[in-house]
């Protein structure tokens, strides 16, 4: 059976439904070119500000040793909007990509004025027709002293109203959203977005969960120096929140607005779950950060195998098809778990990187001690009188 993983986002064809999130490994044309050469369905550039900026002081990122969570307080380091819409940058980024692989840019202005300035730049840029879509980031928690716009629905409404004046002169627009944790917030945000459905063609949900804190108990200090250690939380730890946001937004948004799922995706199964919840495409951020662009090839292969096993030929066979819980379904899941080889189900919990390092060091010490004992034994044997 041939499995087709193509999808459309904002009416734009993606040959595979998986592509990179804006942020990790997307700040330069060199990094973007590696994404372009992978199975990623699109190439999305780093969230840009009006001017180039270096971001917060280091260390500003931290990964849990088991990679169950990642933290960043980067402060939007990027090369500025002019860089990401420049012909040379796009040429370098897309030179080895399929001819029809789309190139998206992301904007994260510090104010309405900043966002409007960048949008005007795109509207008048010679490369405008090479930019397939714009992702307006209204969800970044990493700019110290700045609010998350999408949590202030009146402010979000005002921004989208201003942006709508440029609709006819811009590529299709998407909006990056923060994680919503209350049904009232979902409804308020969806109401604003639906009012602007002629402008907003997709939403990407979710961005990092803001103001998380990782503490190093050895040094008794935060793991990140910037912003007193407060940082955006990403990775598998936010995956279930992301799934809930995708499902609820798909329920509340007009069908003309696509939902792109993002948050803790690191396998074909994670993508499949996002599709079931209603996503039309799925972005990968933290896994791309840790594993590199080869993650797109692996995840796409895993998704294709899983869909073939389930008899799904195309994305539409999965999208939004999440079933209600049932005893029959739960029993089927338990049976599938029991059918797994005992060696897999009863295997020990994998060692974390810190535990693995400990045993490596301990093994090296034991080998050194054994070598010393053998050397001393030989020397003592030479000192004993002959029989």
For the stretch 141-192, pLDDT in tens is 656 566 788 999 998 999 999 999 998 899 999 999 999 999 999 999 999 9
What are phi and psi for residue 221, nearest 5 degrees? -145, 165
Both tokens of 224, joined, read 């990140």
pLDDT at 283: 98
Mean pLDDT rounded to a whole number for the chain: 91
Cis bond before residue 206 (omega within 30° of 0): yes
Percentage with pLDDT > 70 across the chain: 87
**pLDDT tens digits, one per residue of 46-63:** 999 999 999 999 999 999
Q: State yes or no: pLDDT of 70 exceeds 80.
A: yes
**Which fold does the domain 7-322 belong to in CATH?**
TIM Barrel (3.20.20)
Helix or strand holding residue 49 (H, E): none
Both tokens of 194, joined, read 């639906």
Q: Which of 27-31, 83-87, 298-302, 378-382 has the lowest mean pLDDT?
A: 378-382
**pLDDT tens digits, one per residue of 296-347:** 999 999 999 999 999 999 999 999 999 999 999 999 999 988 887 554 434 3
| Cα distance between the two ends of the chain | 81
Quick one: which of 42, 123, 41, 40 has its CA closest to 81?
A: 123
**pLDDT tens digits, one per residue of 254-293:** 999 999 999 999 999 999 999 999 999 999 999 999 999 9
- What whole-number distance in Å separates Cα of residue 137 and Cα of residue 104? 12
Percentage with pLDDT > 90 across the chain: 81
Q: State yes or no: pLDDT of 366 exceeds 80.
A: no
pLDDT at 361: 66
CB of 189 closer than 8 Å to CB of 156: yes
How far is CA 287 from each of CA 26, 29, 59, 203, 377, rounded to the nearest angstrom?
A: 13, 20, 20, 21, 51
- What whole-number distance in Å separates Cα of residue 101 and Cα of residue 18? 12
Three-state secondary structure call for residue 13: strand
DSSP type of residue 289: H
Helix or strand holding residue 299 (H, E): helix 294-309
Three-state secondary structure call for residue 378: helix
Half-sphere exposure of 310 (CA within 13 A, CB side): 17
DSSP 65-100: TTSS-EEE-----B--HHHHTSHHHHHHHHTTS-TT
- What whole-number distance in Å separates Cα of residue 245 and Cα of residue 237? 14
Cis bond before residue 59 (omega within 30° of 0): yes
Q: State yes or no: pLDDT of 249 exceeds 50.
A: yes
pLDDT at 141: 60
For the chain, domain boundaries: 7-322, 341-387
Query: How many C-beta atoms surround the C-beta of residue 82 within 10 A?
Result: 15
Which value, to the nearest 10 degrees, does the dihedral of the CA atoms of residues 25, 193, 18, 84 take? -30
pLDDT at 380: 46
Both tokens of 386, joined, read 């002959």
pLDDT at 167: 85
pLDDT at 145: 64
Q: State yes or no: pLDDT of 384 exceeds 60.
A: no
Catalytic residue among 140, 287, 295, 312: 140
- What whole-number distance in Å separates Cα of residue 262 and Cα of residue 266? 10
Tell me whether residue 295 is one of the annotated catalytic residues.
Answer: no
Burial of 317 (0-12, 13-18, 19+ CB in 10 A): middle
Query: How many C-beta atoms surround the C-beta of residue 153 within 10 A?
Result: 17
pLDDT at 91: 98
Q: How confident is the model at residue 376 (pLDDT cuts 50, 70, 90)?
A: low
Provide long-range contacts, Cβ within 8 A and 24+ apart, for 320-327.
Answer: 320/250, 320/275, 320/276, 320/277, 320/278, 321/276, 322/247, 322/276, 322/277, 322/278
Q: How confident is the model at residue 375 (pLDDT cuts 50, 70, 90)?
A: low
pTM above threshold 0.75: yes
Parallel, antiparallel or unpaired: strands 281-284 and 18-20: parallel
């Amino acid at each position: 059976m041939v499995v087709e993983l193509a999808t459309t986002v904002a009416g734009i064809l993606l040959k595979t439904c998986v592509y990179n999130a804006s942020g990790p490994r997307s700040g330069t044309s060199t990094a973007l070119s590696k994404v372009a050469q992978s199975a990623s369905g699109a190439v999305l550039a780093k969230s840009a500000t009006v001017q180039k900026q270096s971001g917060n002081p280091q260390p500003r990122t931290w990964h849990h040793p088991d990679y169950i969570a990642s933290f960043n307080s980067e402060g939007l380091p990027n090369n500025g909007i002019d860089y990401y819409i420049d012909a040379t940058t796009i040429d370098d980024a897309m030179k080895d990509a399929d001819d029809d692989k789309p190139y998206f840019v992301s904007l994260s202005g510090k104010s309405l004025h900043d966002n409007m300035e960048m949008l005007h730049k795109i509207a008048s840029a010679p490369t405008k027709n090479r930019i397939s879509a714009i992702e307006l980031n209204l969800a970044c928690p990493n700019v110290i002293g700045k609010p998350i716009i999408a949590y202030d629905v009146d402010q979000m409404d005002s921004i989208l109203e201003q942006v709508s004046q440029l609709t006819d002169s811009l590529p299709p627009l998407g909006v990056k959203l923060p994680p919503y944790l209350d049904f009232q917030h979902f409804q308020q945000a969806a109401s604003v977005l639906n009012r602007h459905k002629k402008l907003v063609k997709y939403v990407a949900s979710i961005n990092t969960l803001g103001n998380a804190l990782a503490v190093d108990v050895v040094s008794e200090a935060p793991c990140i120096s910037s912003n007193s250690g407060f940082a955006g939380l990403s990775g598998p730890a936010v995956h279930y929140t992301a799934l809930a946001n995708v499902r609820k937004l798909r329920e509340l948004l007009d069908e003309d607005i696509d939902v792109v799922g993002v948050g803790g995706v690191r396998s074909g199964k994670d993508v499949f779950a996002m599709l079931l919840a209603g996503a039309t495409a799925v972005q990968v951020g933290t896994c791309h950060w840790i594993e590199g662009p080869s993650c797109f090839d692996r995840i796409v292969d895993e998704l294709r195998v899983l869909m073939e096993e389930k008899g799904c030929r195309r994305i539409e066979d999965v999208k939004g098809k999440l079933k209600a819980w049932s005893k029959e379904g739960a029993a089927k899941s338990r049976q599938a778990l029991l059918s797994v080889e005992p060696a897999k189900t009863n295997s020990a919990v994998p060692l974390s990187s810190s535990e693995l390092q400990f045993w490596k060091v301990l093994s090296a010490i034991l080998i050194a001690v054994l070598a010393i004992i053998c050397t001393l034994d030989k020397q003592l044997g030479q000192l004993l009188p002959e029989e």
